[in-house]
Amino acid sequence: METFLRQTMIPANQAYFNSYLSRGMWADDYGWCGIASLTARDYLLSVGDAGSAAAYLAIAEDCWKKMVTEGYDPSDTARPVPHGCGNGSGTDPGTKNTVTNANLFVLSLRLYDVFSSTDEQVADAYLEMCYRQFVWFSSWFESEHRYMRTVAVRCGLVQERPIAKPSYEKKDRPTWEPGWVWTGVDPSFDPDVFQNDVVAWIVTIVTGTRSLLFGAADNVLREPPFNSSFVDDPKDYVCGRGVLLRYLSEAAVRPYLGDQFSIGIAATAKAVWNSRDTATKQFGADWNPANDAAFNEQFAKAWRFGDTEVSWPYGPDSGAPENGILQAVGLDVLGAAIPILA
């Protein structure tokens, strides 16, 4: 398996990423690609393949440059919060949503870690962007616009995008609706770095994630029920649950979470496994549909926003790329459960 990974998959993925860098992508996709490339680099360094590791680092650097060039707003004119990264592509500046800005923040931080001990000047450029992104999120969290929305004491989630006059009013590409959140939000900020404010944000997001997204009777993780996720290009959102579980199971994050998510991760992994087509080994999108309606109703009541009649439009015959995405999400979930159940 390791031979296949190193001789076949790693070169194929490298060629695939480079082909998209030459064609262009949406800004958030540069973030996903760059972060994945740095994870590949970590693995390659661990097995002594410095040449391939350098190639993946170069991809991550190119992704950061593309993301900043195509999406980042360097001007001071946006109000009520300047800067931030739009999910742009080409001449379209795009919407400054949560995921795009979180990706730029994480990618900048990880690139800073790479260069902090070898090239101070390069590292400082990435650190500067980390700081700018922290200020952007902090300004929204502390504003009156309820970008970080709570429904009880220390129980909340970050909304899909900030909405406020005069510069944050885009409600299309993709179509926006009030209260919209999605499960790919990263709760793993380091409290040793950001201290008091960020610790409070972590507690709020973690509590909201546990009680709202794992809130069904079966403890299975579900996507918040918004038509925007299930109808408007759902393949972009069906994968969010896997992203979230990967973060929740990381060794660096678990000391701050304890066992709060162990039951939910184990239950979700079991549901994902049971959702597979036993003949083809294909994972599904609806992991335990018997409880979906109750979850949707419960979420909409607690959050005071949501669409109760939603379901993923995918079945065993969905084809490419959807089946590949669903397979990746299933593997994300099973991988997240390994350190919990081991």
- Inter-CA distances, 136 with 141, 201, 202, 316, 320, Å: 9, 14, 17, 41, 37
Cα four-point dihedral sign 258, 294, 328, 72: negative
* 284 is a domain residue: yes
* 29 is a domain residue: no
DSSP structure class, residue 290: G
* 43 is a domain residue: no
* 107 is a domain residue: no
* 329 is a domain residue: yes
Q: Could you list the residue range(s) of the whole structural domain that residue 316 is in? A: 183-342
pLDDT surpassing 70 at residue 29: yes
The three-point CA angle 187-28-201 to 5° equals 20
User: Which is more confidently placed, 192 or 224?
Assistant: 224
Q: HSE on the CB side for 12, CA within 13 Å? A: 6
Q: For residue 118, which amino acid is it?
A: T
The two tokens of residue 57 are: 């680092």
* 114 is a domain residue: no
Best-predicted range by mean pLDDT among 6-20, 142-156, 265-279? Answer: 265-279
* Local confidence band at 33 (pLDDT 50, 70, 90 cut-offs): very high
Q: Whole-angstrom Cα distance, residue 204 to residue 150? A: 8
Residue pair 21/47 in contact by the 8 Å Cβ criterion: no
The two tokens of residue 146 are: 């309820």
* Local confidence band at 198 (pLDDT 50, 70, 90 cut-offs): confident
pLDDT surpassing 90 at residue 60: yes
Report the share of the chain in percent with pLDDT over 90: 74
- Inter-CA distances, 101 with 33, 62, 97, 190, 282, Å: 14, 17, 7, 17, 32
Q: Whole-angstrom Cα distance, residue 41 to residue 251? A: 18
**pLDDT value at position 189?**
45
Q: Whole-angstrom Cα distance, residue 219 to residue 314? A: 22
**pLDDT value at position 7?**
80
Q: Whole-angstrom Cα distance, residue 82 to residue 101? A: 13
* Local confidence band at 187 (pLDDT 50, 70, 90 cut-offs): very low
* Mean pLDDT, residues 121-142: 95
**pLDDT value at position 251?**
84
Residue pair 229/180 in contact by the 8 Å Cβ criterion: yes
Quick one: three-class SS letters along 150-174?
EEECCEEEECCCCCECCCECCCCCC
The overall average pLDDT reported for the chain is 91
Residue of 281, 260, 262, 261 lying closest to 272 (CA atoms): 281
* 101 is a domain residue: no
**pLDDT digits over 165-176, tens only?**
999 999 988 889
**pLDDT digits over 244-303, tens only?**
999 899 888 888 788 899 999 999 999 999 999 999 999 999 999 999 999 999 999 999
* 211 is a domain residue: yes
User: Which is more confidently placed, 260 or 3?
Assistant: 260
How many separate domains does the chain show? 1
**pLDDT value at position 190?**
53
**pLDDT value at position 176?**
93
Residue pair 325/235 in contact by the 8 Å Cβ criterion: yes
**pLDDT value at position 342?**
74
